[in-house]
Chain A
Amino acid sequence: MLFLDELPEFERASLEALRQPLEDGCVSISRANARVSYPARFVLVAAMNPCPCGNFGSPDNNCRCTTQQIRRYLSKISGPLLDRIDLHIEVARVRYEELTDKSPAEPSSVIAERVEAARRLQRERYKGTGVFCNAQLTGSLFNKYCTLDAAGDALMRRAFAAMGFTARSFKRVLMVARTIADLAGESTISAAHVAEAIQYRALDRKYWGDGR
């Protein structure tokens, strides 16, 4: 697990270097006399602010940054890197009532059980293929297990055009949809799963888009 807090504060070159391990699960280092590949399979989690002051997009519109500042800040994260991140989640400011809310929430242990169940399902399904979770699906396995029904396909087609997906993000959305279906304990990916998966990819368009 690699957690990068304040993602845009890292140097662009370091961030770009993450692209290969994120895609292939290994790091290749080439020197004059040798070329070595090291395994680098990890889960990347990163956090960032929407702009240098952190208030961009807040309901009371008190962001003090100029358009250029925001642009410079966000441009540290390149499109291709963003493309390789499966889930983009926007977190709104926490309100006082939420901080002091004492009502019981779903305990982590229950969630962990659900995750474990989904993992079990995946291990079962990919037995003997050398793969143990959805994120590792490639080529033929991907085509075999990430299929859509007619409704899901129609939805994906609309979303692909409307949200400007790339080939890579299309694949990632499908994998996320597969996982959502697994968490729900269902064997086929339905339109609802795809729709939910698409919600987790809305960020690039909004902040890195052209403002229209």
Chain B
Amino acid sequence: MKDDLVLYWLASTDGIGARRFSTIKFAFPDITEIFYDPYALREYKVPQNVCDSLKHRANEDLLRSELHMLKERSIGFVSINHEDYPELLRHIYDPPIGLYVRGDLSCIKQKKFAIVGTRKPTRSGAANVRKIARELSESGVSIVSGMAAGIDAASHVGALDGGTPTCAVLGCGVDIPYPPENINIYEDIVQNGAVVSEYKPGTPSLRIYFPARNRIITGMCPGVLIAEGGKRSGASISANYAINENREVFALPGDISSAVSELPNSLIADGAHIALGSESILSALGWGTGAHDEKIAEPLSLDFLQQRLYNLLLAGDMTASELAEASETAPGEVFSTLTMLELMGVTEKLPGGIIHICRRQ
């Protein structure tokens, strides 16, 4: 009887969570023992009905066929004893018994870095996170996050741009792309990285699962970046996990008057690393300094008006009509120049009609 199968049996039975598993593991060093006598768990405060369903499902053929069915839906199960299971996660206070995986968890083996933050970031916050994630990914670091809207999505998108496989930890079944608007990100991660969850496939997304999800994100990684978030937010829960599990905490400094900068700024005040960019993160974790090959971008060749608008935008984002006013140019001309700049990938238009430089000269 393989350990893996017993662990799947425990993980897939309702009523056995990470906490209970810690007790069980401590009491039964040879875990297969309980497979043959689930009622032995009664002594360890496992309720009768849970023991009943454990007994009911203690059938090797049944479990094998369940695993086979999952496989057909391209969902894998990586137990805590499996070599692909993240090493650091194994040693947290309450590690998941196993992880359901879509994609390939074995490619998320080496350097891992977590990024968490609010679902409603500021524009600059999201842009900075995306850039840091891309640069870390270019230096071969796997970014781990939660695939939620906002900071999470920005970190995955940046990571995917950088090319190193990225890992998303969901607070629902691994077969459910939640939130639905991130389905493209979900599919890209499955192609280049892994989507994991400790919950059974089909588990709906519930708020109560999110804190537990955060412990996996921080548990997998030696370092975590808290990008933006309020004092009492999911990000602050992650920060607490990170501190309790002795992870390196980085915080993205922000405007002191902005609500979403409260958490990172107070973490900095309490001694967290200040994340000034990917280099500072890499060197603090001893991963070299910016080993990523600085992509030598071909210099932009801008014509007179393009250059003029570019220079104006360098000072800060503006709307098209503000640009027309500032450059003393007819709006029509500004509009057509902006299209050119946009197609060259120099600027992008954000909600609110704001023009933002996304590639510097």
> Which residues of A come within 8 Å of B, CB atoms?
50, 56-59, 61, 63, 67, 71, 90-92, 155, 158-159, 162, 180, 184, 191-196, 198-200, 202, 206-207, 210-212
Residues of chain A within 8 A (CB-CB) of B321 are 92
Q: Interface size of B by Cβ–Cβ distance < 8 Å?
A: 33
A196 lies within 8 A of B184 (CB)? no
Asked if residues B353 and A90 are in contact (CB atoms below 8 Å), the reply is: yes
Residue of A nearest to B149 (CB): A67
Q: Are B184 and A212 in contact (CB under 8 A)?
A: yes
Given A155-B343, A199-B336, A59:B153 Cβ within 8 A? no
Interface string of B119-130 (1 = CB under 8 A from A): 110110000000
The 8 A CB mask of B322-361 against A (1 = contact, 0 = none) is 0000000000110111111011000001111110000000
Q: Is the CB of B352 within 8 A of A202?
A: no
Closest 10 CB pairs of A and B: A57-B351, A57-B352, A195-B336, A90-B353, A195-B339, A199-B335, A196-B336, A192-B336, A196-B335, A198-B339
Q: Indicate if the CB atoms of B353 and A195 lie closer than 8 Å.
A: no
**Are B336 and A50 interface neighbours, CB within 8 A?**
no
- Whole-angstrom distance between the alpha carbons of A206 and B348 in the complex? 10
Give the residue name and chain of the A residue nearest to B348 (CB).
Answer: A206
**CB within 8 A of A91: which of B183, B317, B336, B353?**
B353
Task: Please tell me if the beta carbons of B339 and A199 are within 8 angstroms of each other in the complex.
Answer: yes
List of B residues within 8 angstroms of A63 by Cβ: 120
Check A195–B351 contact: CB distance below 8 A: no
Q: Is the CB of B157 within 8 A of A212?
A: yes
For B335, give its contact among A57, A58, A184, A195 (CB under 8 Å). Answer: A195
User: What are 18 A-to-B residue pairs whose CB atoms are below 8 Å?
Assistant: A50-B351, A57-B352, A61-B120, A92-B319, A92-B321, A92-B353, A158-B343, A159-B339, A159-B343, A195-B339, A195-B340, A196-B335, A198-B339, A202-B349, A206-B349, A211-B181, A211-B182, A212-B185
**Bound complex: CA of A194 vs CA of B184, how far in Å?**
30
Please determine whether B185 and A57 come into contact, CB atoms closer than 8 angstroms.
no
Given contacts A195-B339, A200-B335, A211-B181, 11 further A-B contacts (CB under 8 A): A56-B351, A56-B352, A63-B120, A67-B181, A155-B339, A158-B343, A162-B343, A195-B340, A196-B336, A199-B339, A202-B349
A113 to B347, CA, bound (A): 35
Collect the chain B residues with CB atoms within 8 Å of residue A206's CB.
349-351
Q: Per-residue 0/1 for B185-209: is the Cβ within 8 Å of any A Cβ (1 yes, 0 no)?
A: 1000000000000000000000000
What is the CA–CA distance of A166 and B294 in the complex, to the nearest angstrom? 37
Summed over the interface, the residue pairs from A and B with CB atoms below 8 Å come to a total of: 78
Question: Quick one: which of B123, B149, B182, B338 contacts A199, CB cutoff 8 A?
Answer: B338
The answer to whether the Cβ of B179 comes within 8 Å of any Cβ in the partner chain is: yes
Cα A196 to Cα B333 with chains together (Å): 7
Structural contact, A67 and B339, CB atoms closer than 8 A: no
| B284 lies within 8 A of chain A by Cβ | no
Which single member of B320, B336, B337, B343 contacts A193 (CB below 8 Å)? B336
Complex Cα spacing A57 to B181, Å: 18
Which of B119, B120, B352 contacts A58 (CB under 8 A)? B352
Q: In the assembled complex, which residues on chain B have CB atoms less than 8 Å from the CB atom of A155?
A: 339-340, 343
CA A184 – CA B336 in complex, angstroms?
Answer: 14
A141 to nearest B CB, angstroms?
A: 25
A195 to B306, CA, bound (A): 13
Q: Which of A158, A196, A211 contacts B149 (CB 8 A)?
A: A211
| Chain B residues whose CB sits within 8 angstroms of the CB of A50 once the complex forms | 351-352
Q: When the two chains form the complex, which single residue of A67, A92, A199 contacts B179, counting CB atoms closer than 8 Å?
A: A67
Whether B149 lies near A57 (C-beta < 8 A) is: no
B204 to chain A minimum Cβ distance, whole angstroms, is 15
CB distance from B88 to the nearest CB of A (A): 30
B354 adjacent to A57 (CB under 8 Å): yes
Question: Roughly how many angstroms separate A90 CA and B353 CA in the complex, as a whole number?
Answer: 6
Across the interface, which residues of A come within 8 angstroms of B182, CB to CB? 211
Which of A71, A195, A199, A202 makes the CB contact (< 8 A) with B181?
A: A71
Residue of A50, A155, A195, A198 with highest tally of chain B CB at under 10 A: A195
User: Which of chain A's residues have a CB closer than 8 A to the CB of B351?
Assistant: 50, 56-57, 206-207
Complex: chain B residue closest to A71, CB-CB: B181
Q: How far is the CB of A111 from chain B (nearest CB, A)?
A: 12
- Shortest CB-to-CB span from A89 to chain B, Å, is 8
In the bound complex, what is the Cα–Cα distance between A77 and B321 (angstroms)?
26
Q: Encode contact with A along B136-159: 1 for CB under 8 Å, 0 otherwise.
A: 000000000000010001000100
Q: Which residue of B lies closest to A205 (CB)?
A: B349
On chain A, the residues within 8 Å of B353 by CB distance are 57, 90-92
